[in-house]
Every structure is written in C-alpha cells, then in structure tokens.
Amino acid sequence: MIARPEFPPAPRVERALDRRLHARFAAAMLRLLGWRVVLAQPVPSRCVIVIYPHTSNWDFVVGLLAKWMLGLELNFIGKHTLFAGPLGPLFARWGGIPVDRRASTGVIAQLASRFADGAVCRLVIAPEGTRSRTACWKSGFYHLTRAVDVPLGLAFIDYARREIGVGAYVALTGDVAADMARIAAFYADKRGRRPGNAGPVRLADATGP
C-alpha cells in the first residue's frame, strides 16, 4: 500500500453496526465473499460522498451489502423514469432519489433543495456517471458539495484488496485543480473490477491528474 500521511487507513468494521437481520446477513455475505468494510470516523451527519472506481454492475451489489452492514442512511440518485417502473418502490426503499434532468431548476438545484429540507443527509454519487471509461468526472458532485457547504466523503471499491468503504472526508476549497489533485492522490491505488474502465480522476475544467 502506498503511504499517504494525509489519508491514514480508515478503521475496519468488524461486525454489522445495525442489529437488524438484513445487516447481519450482509456482514455474513461480505465475509463469505472475502470483502472487508472500512469507515473513516467521525461520520458527518450531512455530506456528499463520491464512490470510485465504478466499473461493474457488481459494484452496486457489494455497495448495497456494505450499506446494510453499516446501517447508515445513504441516498443515491437515479433517472426519474427508473422510479416509475415496477422496481421504483424498491429503489426508493434503498435510498434512491429520482431526478429529472429536464426540469428547469436543474439537478444541482433539485438536490440542494433536498439537503435544505432535510430529505437528504448523505448523498452517494458515482462521478464517472457510467461503468465505461470516461475522459473525466462529471462536476455535479463538486458544485453540489460547495453549494450546500458539507464535507466530501471519499468512498471506494477496491477489488485488488477486496475492500470497500469510506476512506476519508475532505473539505473542498474552491481551488478545483488543487482539490482534484488531493482526491486523485487518495484514489491512486484503488482498483476496480475492470481497471481499464476506470478513467482519470479529474474534471473537464481542471488541470492536473
């Protein structure tokens, strides 16, 4: 493991933090599959969390098991049309939030309003926006985090070490290049299930990594 003093190893979660049956089931499944879960402390009551790399459909399965094991209230966004189908109630129960990209207010404004009214406390975003390789990250997470003035959690799913969790929290400064350089340093040794699909950690309007 590459030493990074700014990001010390996050504590490992040894057992389910939720006493309910599904949490214990999730912990057992993760152990059976050889996965370890980590969670940096203290956990902010309100934050935006990015998860990278996102290269496989299996990421959602492992991520959902980790969520259940940790017992954290987490939300994620999805196209509003997904919630109109038969799986809509299930997505909503798991913390899904429908967003309408055609709305005049825009996605950032929609999500910011949910933070303002308390409907969202911890929002997980896959900044690549796809499981395929991209040239850069979408900048929505950055603008939202700055707009609602909350910490940014750095979550990861590392298939090389079979480890998943939130490894650190950072405060964005508004210096996009410097902020993204710090984020890229954190993710430098994280490997997705399909490493070739993981694009560079950078924004389209930022220089650096």
Chain segment 160-197, per-residue pLDDT in tens: 999 999 999 999 999 999 999 999 999 999 998 998 88
> Which of 29-38, 60-69, 89-98, 167-176 has the lowest average pLDDT?
89-98
- The percentage of residues in the chain with a pLDDT greater than 90, rounded to a whole number, is 54
Instruction: Name the residue with higher pLDDT: 87 or 192.
Output: 192
Largest Cα span, the chain: 47
Chain segment 120-158, per-residue pLDDT in tens: 789 999 898 777 778 789 898 999 999 999 999 999 999
Structure tokens at 60: 């959602």
State the average pLDDT over residues 17-43: 95
| Mode of pairing for the β-strands spanning 47-52 and 152-158 | parallel
pLDDT higher than threshold 60 for residue 109: yes
pLDDT higher than threshold 60 for residue 114: yes
Rounded to 5°, angle at Cα 168 from 147 and 16:
110
What pLDDT is stored for residue 178 in this prediction?
A: 94
Determine the Cα–Cα distance for residues 171 and 11; give it in Å rounded to an integer: 20
User: Please, which residues have CB within 8 angstroms of residue 167's CB and are 6 or more apart in sequence?
Assistant: 7, 9, 10, 38, 40, 154, 155, 156, 186
Max avg pLDDT among 5-9, 108-112, 175-179: 175-179
Confidence bin at 2 (pLDDT 50/70/90) = very low
pLDDT higher than threshold 70 for residue 5: no
State the sign of the Cα–Cα–Cα–Cα dihedral 174, 137, 58, 167: negative
What pLDDT is stored for residue 204 in this prediction?
A: 75
Which pTM was predicted? 0.86
Determine the Cα–Cα distance for residues 96 and 121; give it in Å rounded to an integer: 13
